[in-house]
Amino acid sequence: MGILKIFKNFVSAKPRRAFCAVVKCSDCGEVVRVGIDRSSDLQIEYNGHNPEHCYTIKKEIIGKGCFNLMKISLALTKEAGLLFSDTQGCKLISFEKDSRDVA
């Protein structure tokens, strides 16, 4: 019975978000909040030319009312500070720790 309960809690657990990015569509102006999952969205970088660059995040986004594809690529430091961003079809408004994340 105990194993079944542990398995049920594991399966039903929501992914933990580490960050959120807010973008604005270049075409229609829709603002979209995107959750970034710490377990699947952070890619580790090994870059000898830029040792500060430790993580990369790449997301493709479609809004609720607008169906234009927006893309963001973010480079982060080891302490999760934003080094630089690259966007297509949108503008990055903010990047921050997700306040809904529970430690």
* 75 belongs to a structural domain: yes
Between the alpha carbon of residue 99 and those of residues 27, 28, 29, 75, the distances in Å are 29, 27, 24, 21
What pTM was computed for the model? Answer: 0.73
Instruction: State the residue range of the domain holding 73.
Output: 15-97
User: Number of folded domains in the chain?
Assistant: 1
* 7 belongs to a structural domain: no
Q: Which residues pair with 96 in a beta bridge?
A: 20
* 3 belongs to a structural domain: no
* 19 belongs to a structural domain: yes
Per-residue pLDDT of the chain (103 residues; tens, 9 = 90+): 555 555 455 444 555 668 999 999 999 999 999 999 988 898 988 877 888 889 999 999 999 988 899 999 999 988 888 999 999 999 999 998 876 654 4
Q: Which two tokens stand for residue 71?
A: 């893309």
* 2 belongs to a structural domain: no
* 8 belongs to a structural domain: no
* 84 belongs to a structural domain: yes
* 30 belongs to a structural domain: yes
Reduce the secondary structure of 63-77 to three states and give it as a string: CCCCCCCEEEEEEEC
Q: Which two tokens stand for residue 89?
A: 């079809």
